[in-house]
Amino acid sequence: MEFLTLFCVLLIGSLKAKGLFSSSDDELALEAKNGSRAAFDKLYDKYKRPIINYIYRYIGDLSHAEELAQEAFIRVYTNIDRYIEKGKFSSWVYTIAGNLAKNFLRDKSRFTEISIDKEIQGPEGEVSLLDLIADKGRTPQEETQKEEIDKIIQQGINKLKPKHKEVIILCDIQGLSYEEAAKVLKCPSATVGSRLSRAREYLAGILKVLNKK
């Protein structure tokens, strides 16, 4: 394996989300469905950073990624009553976030800024967005120790076709299993594996060119 290809795989692997997904997610989702705000807050705290990072990697714009992540969690909160018990919460959240990211790239002009003063209806009545989505943590960029390398990788990801972009973000950066990614992408897990292999190959080639500039 070429050095750059190996470097690419190892670097992306090092960005994977660790310990983010567990069987307790579905239990918390069911509690939230039954009206527990505390359960929803736990899910939000757990998935906030991964979802922002996922959308950021997909659209390449941090400020809009944060806004779209907020919209994703608003949709989760307002539609939690529709959550299916046998489903997987992580797949549901990533599907919502992915659809928002795709819609944003499809037509940026239709994207509407979200007012944090707006009240929304949830399981426990009306809730302020400011209270629901307040972010006291650091941004994904602030957590990145190697900003220049990260910038090059993002440039490479941006050049990938959508089907290759989303699979490499879900599996190599977010750390989803083939089965979890397959639920989000609505395709067989075998397709995820073959698509990921091709995506890594394309990304390595792109990074090789970018690295020469």
Domain extent listing, the chain: 3-212
For residue 139, the model assigns a pLDDT of: 55
pLDDT of 164 higher than 80: yes
**Cβ distance 174 to 17 under 8 Å?**
yes
Q: How far apart are CA 62 and CA 141, in angstroms?
A: 8
From first CA to last CA, the distance across the chain in angstroms is 22
pLDDT in tens, 65-79: 999 999 999 999 988
CB neighbours of residue 188 within 10 Å: 12
Q: Answer with the residue of higher pLDDT: 74 or 114.
A: 74
Fold topology of 3-212: Rna Polymerase Sigma Factor; Chain: A (1.10.1740)
User: Mean pLDDT over all residues of the chain?
Assistant: 76
pLDDT in tens, 34-76: 888 899 999 999 999 999 999 998 998 888 999 999 999 999 9
